[in-house]
Structure 1
Amino acid sequence: MELAKLLTPGAVRVVGQITSKKRLFQELGEMVASSYGLTAAIAVDGLQERESLGPTGVGHGIALPHARLEDLDRIVGVFIRLEKPLDYDSVDRQPVDLIFGLFAPKDSGVDHLKALALVSRTMRDQSVVTKLRANTDPAKLHAILTESRAPQAA
């Protein structure tokens, strides 16, 4: 599994400011709708349902909101780089500025977990994170996220 298969170039945005987690989820929903043809409201509901189980802010300014959705036939992703970090209730209580949203079919099982592990490994790579924070061009951000890396254990 590769991030290039999960994340299209049009599913990457730089956003100046988002004022709440709810608004962030709406933005992610709009992105998944425009990039992959899903219904934004269904995506937002899925994100909020998953978030109610526990925050997806993993620390160090990174959030990995994700959801399993009925109307999806493959795993897809969207990425937002915020210019002004958002209070997200992360595990380390730090605001987030790098958000990778992942959407998987309801019955994706282990593939969803593999995709989440891949995204998590990528976002834990300090050189990737440094490059993401240093760039504001969505095409460059997409290239940074999808460049091939040697596989690592989860």
Structure 2
Amino acid sequence: MQLSSLLKPEAVRVFGTMSSKKRLFQELGEVAHVVYGLSANEVVDALQERESLGPTGVGHGVALPHARLAGLDKVKGAFIRLEKPIDFGAVDRMPVDLIFALFAPLDSGVDHLKALALVSRTLRDATVCGKLRANSDPATLHAVLTEAQASQAA
């Protein structure tokens, strides 16, 4: 599985500020709607439902919200970088500024877990996170994410 197959360049966004986790989920819903044709409301509801089971802030300013949705044929992703971090209820209580959301088919099984592991591995790399935080251009952010995985595989 390749990060480039999960994340379209147009699904990468940068925002200066975000008022809350709920507002962030609304933006993710909008990205999923515009880029992948998903229902924004269904995406928001599914992300909030998953988040109610436990926060998806994994630490070091990174969050990996994810949800299973009807109408998908494969796992898809969206990435948002916030210039001003927000509280996400992360395990280390640090605010979050790097958010990689995954949307998976209802019956995705192992593919969903493989995608989560892949994104988690990529964003655990401090060098990758440093490059993501140092750039505001969505095309550059997409390149950093997809090239990071390619170099890890080599």
Question: In which range does the TM-score fall when normalised by the shorter chain?
Answer: over 0.9
Deviation at 1:26, TM superposition (A): 0.3
Query: Corresponding residue for 1:131?
Result: 131
Amino acid at match of 2:120: S
Query: Corresponding residue for 1:77?
Result: 77
Query: In 1, Cα distance between the equivalents of 2:143 and 2:130?
Result: 14
Matches within 5 A, 1:51-62: 51-62=51-62
Q: Match of 2:71, SS?
A: coil
Matched, 1:150 2:152: yes
Matched, 1:43 2:43: yes
Task: Indicate the percent of aligned positions where both proteins have the same amino acid.
Answer: 70
Residues 79-120 of structure 1 deviation map (CA, whole Å, 9 limit, x = unaligned): 000000001110011100000000000000001000000000
Amino acid at match of 2:87: D
Q: Match of 1:141, SS?
A: helix
Query: In 2, Cα distance between the equivalents of 1:102 and 1:80?
Result: 12
Query: In 2, Cα distance between the equivalents of 1:42 and 1:128?
Result: 31
Specify every segment of 5 or more residues in structure 2 that has no aligned partner in the other structure, as ranges.
none
**Alignment RMSD:** 1.0
What TM-score results when the alignment is normalised by the length of structure 1? 0.97
Query: In 1, Cα distance between the equivalents of 2:114 and 2:151?
Result: 16
What TM-score results when the alignment is normalised by the length of structure 2? 0.97
Query: Corresponding residue for 1:14?
Result: 14
Amino acid at match of 1:33: H
Q: Match of 1:10, SS?
A: strand
